[in-house]
Amino acid sequence: MGREQELMVRLSKSELKLISAAAQQIGMEEVTFLRHAALALAGNIKPRQYGKYELNSIYREAASRGHVWTEAELLERGLPLYWNEAWVRARLAEGKSIRQLAILSGSFVTSVQNHLQAAFGIRAYRKLTESQITSIRERYAAGETRQEIAADLDVSNVTVGKYLTGTPTERERQAREVRGRLKEVPPQDALTEAPIPPNIQGLRDWAERLFAERAATLTWPTSTETIADILFDGNRAVARDWTGRMVQKGRLNRLARGWFALNDGRDDAGQQ
């Protein structure tokens, strides 16, 4: 047996609740349940027997004869189960998503989407109910990310964003949280009060002098975007690399994603 490797899986709150309930029912820990469930499902997916063009040829030839594939025929020949309309509609009625149909068929998601729409008139996207649309706004306001909500509802991030028009982006929301957390704290570092001249006495290391000069041009705490605009001609990639290195060197504290404060020597970055 080969060396074990870790695999990280991100779950929404509702997905985790569902898995936890199922694992508890059969007396397993969630991690063990996920592992065995994945292995059991993977064992049911047969190795691909046909190439893409072979599948297209088989389907077109059968369609020209008016042949309707049964589930038994598809299983026997190792063909995609989504060719059978009754199987597809039964799985959709059970609440399965297009992605889940693709897994059960051992096929690509795009292949399933295109076939269902062309052959059966089944649109791949989900139509959200009014209660789901309302829940999007409520969950986002409660702190969930767009990605988490989209994964839970099995829709795209763009679909979720459509119903969040006019609300702050996640970056704006984080900026507001940082400002709210720090607005009562007076500035602690002298660098925030006055510019430091190029010839800084007492700083022996050139890198320290350069950092101090750059830091003096900014108002702290500040964001990656501001750092990029002021120090690096708007280059966000360079700014992200620089802030990452300064955090590693202990010169900056990361307050939230994309937000930083000068390190005044205290352990708690939130108290800057």
Q: What is the pLDDT of residue 44?
A: 74
Region of poorest pLDDT, from 58-67, 90-99, 164-173: 164-173
Nearest to 109 by CA among 156, 60, 162, 53: 156
Answer whether residue 19 is part of any domain. Answer: no
Inside any domain, residue 96 = yes
| Angstrom distance (rounded) from CA 268 to CA 181 | 13
Residue type, 37: A
Are residue 113 and residue 151 in the same domain, yes or no? Answer: no
Residues 185 and 236 in one domain: yes
Q: CA neighbours within 13 Å on the CB side: how many for 33?
A: 14
Share of the chain above pLDDT 90, in %: 12
Picking from 36, 31, 26, 29, the residue whose alpha carbon sits closest to that of residue 9 is 31
Instruction: Please tell me whether residues 62 and 150 are part of one structural domain.
Output: no
**Residue 59 in this model has a pLDDT that exceeds 60:** yes
**Tens digits of per-residue pLDDT, 187-244?**
554 444 444 444 444 444 567 777 888 888 888 888 888 898 888 888 888 888 999 9
Residue-number span of the structural domain to which 155 is assigned: 130-167
What values do phi and psi take at 258, rounded to 5? 85, 10
Residue 93 lies in a domain: yes
HSE-up (13 A, CA, CB side) for residue 6? 1
CA-CA-CA-CA torsion for 177, 179, 181, 185, nearest 10 degrees? 180
Is 16 within the bounds of a domain? no
End-to-end CA distance of the chain: 50
- Is position 1 within any domain? no
What is the tally of structural domains in the chain? Answer: 3
- Verify that 179 and 215 share a domain, yes or no: yes
CATH of residue 253: 1.10.10
Distance, CA of 196 to CA of 150 (rounded, Å): 47
Check whether residue 254 and residue 179 sit in a common domain: yes
Please give the distance of CA 8 from its chain centroid, rounded to a whole number.
Answer: 12
Residue 191 lies in a domain: yes
Same domain, residue pair 163 and 185: no
pLDDT at residue number 70? 93
CA distance 266 to 272: 8
Residues 205 and 238 grouped into a single domain:
yes
100 part of a folded domain? yes
Domain match, 154 and 180 both = no
Residue 257: band (very low, low, confident or very high) from pLDDT cuts 50, 70, 90:
confident
Nearest to 259 by CA among 218, 225, 211: 225
Q: Which two tokens stand for residue 178?
A: 């940082």
User: Is 105 part of any domain?
Assistant: yes
For the stretch 5-41, pLDDT in tens is 777 777 777 788 888 998 898 898 888 888 888 888 8
Looking at the structure, tell me whether residues 189 and 161 fall in a common domain. Answer: no
